[in-house]
């Protein structure tokens, strides 16, 4: 059975509390902000005017683990394109 979007969001919240980021993760965030606008736009998200790849977080220093670790695994990566990829991961 496939999870709905809220199930995935709940799973990412729960796994981020106890599980590490997959060591096969590579790349870097390109600041598109897509993961900060999934289902509900995060109120702490901001962009520089006219620059779509300038997402930043007004609460960066205290952001929750699910934000710090996204995308934690390939399976939990729900946005494409994303600056991160996973090398040789079957997850």
User: Which residue number, 10 or 56, has a Cβ lying nearer to ligand SF4?
Assistant: 56
Q: Is 70 in the site for ligand SF4 (CB under 6 A)?
A: yes
Site size toward ligand SF4 (CB under 6 A) is: 13
- Please tell me the distance from the alpha carbon of residue 31 to that of residue 70, in angstroms, as a whole number: 12
Which tokens go with 25? Answer: 């993760």
- Strands (DSSP E) contained in 1-91 are 25-27, 45-46, 56-57, 84-86
Q: Which of 31, 63, 74, 75 binds ligand SF4 (CB under 6 A)?
A: 31
- In DSSP terms, 56 is beta-bridged to 46
Based on the shown chain and the rule CB under 6 A, indicate whether residue 86 belongs to the binding site for ligand SF4. no
Applying CB under 6 A, which residues contact ligand SF4? 29-35, 55, 70, 79, 82-84
């Amino acid at each position: 059975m496939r999870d709905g979007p809220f199930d995935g969001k709940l799973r990412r919240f729960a796994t981020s509390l106890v599980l590490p980021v997959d060591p096969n993760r590579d790349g870097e965030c390109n600041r598109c902000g897509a993961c900060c606008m999934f289902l509900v736009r995060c109120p702490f998200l901001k962009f520089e005017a006219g620059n779509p790849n300038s997402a930043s977080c007004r609460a960066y220093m205290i952001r929750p683990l699910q934000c710090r670790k996204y995308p934690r695994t390939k399976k939990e990566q729900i946005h494409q394109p994303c600056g991160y990829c996973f090398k040789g991961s079957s997850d």
